[in-house]
Amino acid sequence: MLRSDPLIRALPLLRPRLPRLVLATLCGVLSLGSALALAGVSAWLITRAWQMPPILDLSVAVVAVRTFGISRGVLHYCERLASHDAALRASGTARSQIYRSLAAGPVDVVARLDGGELAGRVGADVDDLADVLVRAVLPVAVATILSVAAVVVIALISGAAALVLAVCLAVAGVLAPWLSARGASAQETAARELHAQRDVMAMLALEHAAELRVSGRLSGIIAESDRRQRDWGSALDGAARPAAVGAAVPTAAVGVSVLGAVVAALGIGATAAPTTLAILMLLPLSAFEAVTALPAAAIQLTRSRIAARRLLELTDPGAVAPTAVAHAAGAARPEDLTVRGDQLVAGFSADSAGPPVTVELPPGTRFVVQGPSGSGKTTLLMTLAGMLPPVRGTVELGGVPLASLDEDQLRSAVAFFAEDAHVFATTVRDNLLVARGDCTDAELRAALADTGLRDWLDTLPAALDTVLDGGASALSAGQRRRLLLARVLLCPAPVVLLDEPTEHLDISDADAILTALLRTENGLLGRDRTVVVATHHLPSDFADSYTGPHLTLPARSSRRVI
């Protein structure tokens, strides 16, 4: 049962530092222990002072009150330092492991997610997962230790009062958190989904503001993001209501325990000292200080469990090692680089997939996939590149299924260049070296010249060393497209799949570049390389002479081979 819990399965992602957690727990126990001792000593001091003893009889108690009062705040501060250090280190470790797993794991895990959804999981979900250490594990540990200590101290005075206190602590520390977590689970799940939807809308507005403004849709996207933000807030408010009920239960339990202590004090009043009776009645008030945080801890456990489940959808820590072994034992990259798709059905799901397609692309083939937006061109290319598994059918490279190839072997043979590929906020050189790290400056300049960026490069203050501040925002749409095309020319992969390589270029330049990409003689890419291009249109003068394979995708993903 525990092994199936998402939090347990996600624990290797955090790799929490046990010594820091132990230190935080110790400081927390000592801090609230000081509060417990402060209550007891204060009760004794007030009662003893009422008896008007010599002042020296009170000096030790006075110093103890000051000591416990100061140490409570200092130890609480130390506990916060240690616990937050452990949580921040754990979240950093989790993000590093997630990035490594995503880089080495199946590409379709990321390809299926929107950028905003992915950012939300690696951002907010990792924070929620790490918060389980500070806001759940630590409060539970401290409350357990303090509750046992308080019951033991009260039992030394009155067994009946200790029994009442133990029952009230159990109600406040177990029943109330359970009710809070159970009531908030559904609302927290809904809030998490709304949070992800808000992130999707926000990322869409940030990344495509210019296009959306031109089309008149930007204000609508922003309004939709605001609406989902408000819905998210409402869902969080709904999730907080059960927590409020749970927070009220400990208050009621405090009242019951104090009444029980009063009744017990009346029973032993004839034989016990007044100072002892004062301790008996005031100590339960401080005993509940740690327990009152448990309903909120239960809510945090619910949030962290939801976050862990979403993160495990990206990468299951228990499956990392087996996956690596399977890749190591997988088939080597075949010498034959023929790409074959047999009865291939491409799509993110069966509902959005089209009819089966059969293609065979020997080395040196120029293959055109044509169709309007939304017809499934990108999905087909991603499936041929091994970035999405086929809904049905098979994709092979030289007779070897793509799924059996190691990720590095596959990427060295087949390269997919997305229409919205990322431009990094670094130098022009580094933005090109992501395609091939051993390129010389001469090769980089030649690639930029072939894509029409020679003059642009000459105008830059530091040429290849110029930093593109803001990444893609430092370039026009046409410059960005040409920079991405330069990466294509530098890429050594023998099979290249290009998604809308001439988008945002004027018609004459687009036709010239598209023709050069598809030519086998004196083209931009060598004649022995397989080139697959997804495009809205072919140049009219080139379409008449083009005799290579051509796939037309009408709207609604209905496909036929021509």
On whether both 177 and 233 belong to a single domain, the answer is yes
Nearest-Å Rg of the Cα atoms of the chain is 33
Q: What pLDDT shows up at residue 195?
A: 67
Segment 334-340 shows an average pLDDT of 76
332 domain-assigned: no
Q: Which residue has the higher pLDDT, 124 or 22?
A: 22
In this prediction, residue 221 carries a pLDDT of: 82
Give the domain extent around 350: 339-421+489-561
Mean pLDDT of the chain: 77
Instruction: Give a yes or no: residue 404 inside a domain.
Output: yes
- 392-445 pLDDT, tens digit per residue, is 788 878 777 777 777 777 777 888 887 777 788 888 888 888 888 888 888 888
Average pLDDT estimate for 342-353 = 70
**Do 302 and 400 lie in a common domain?**
no
Residue 319's pLDDT is 40
What is the pTM assigned to this prediction?
Answer: 0.60
Structure tokens at 476: 């026009």
Residue 326 has pLDDT above 50, yes or no: no
DSSP 529: S
Catalogue the long-range contacts made by 115-118 (C-beta closer than 8 Å, 24 or more residues apart): 115/200, 115/203, 115/207, 116/196, 116/199, 116/200, 116/201, 116/202, 116/203, 116/204, 117/196, 117/199, 117/200
Same domain membership, residue 353 and residue 241: no
Residue 189 has pLDDT above 70, yes or no: no
* pLDDT at 479 exceeding the cut of 50: yes
Model pLDDT, residue 183: 64
Residues 347 and 312 in one domain: no
Where residue 56 sits, what CATH number does that domain have? 1.20.1560.10
Query: Shortest CA distance to 98 belongs to which of 14, 27, 196, 24?
Result: 14
Question: Can you give the pLDDT at residue 74?
Answer: 92
Residues 501-527 have pLDDT tens digits of: 777 777 777 777 777 777 777 777 887
Is 434 part of any domain? no
Question: Is residue 479 situated within a structural domain?
Answer: no
The reply to whether 380 and 231 lie within a common domain is no
pLDDT at 153 (0 to 100): 86
Confidence of residue 77 (pLDDT cuts 50, 70, 90): very high
| Residue 467 DSSP one-character state | B
Q: Give me the number of domains the chain comprises.
A: 2
What is the arithmetic mean of pLDDT over 372-401? 76
pLDDT greater at residue 512 or residue 147: 147
Alpha carbon distance 537, 481 (integer Å): 17
* Structure confidence by residue, pLDDT tens digits, 259-316: 887 787 777 767 777 888 788 877 877 788 888 888 888 888 888 888 887 787 776 6
pLDDT for residue 318: 43
Distance in angstroms (rounded) separating the CA atoms of residues 218 and 224: 10
CA dihedral 47, 49, 51, 53 (to 10 degrees): 140
Residue 12 is assigned to a structural domain of this protein: yes
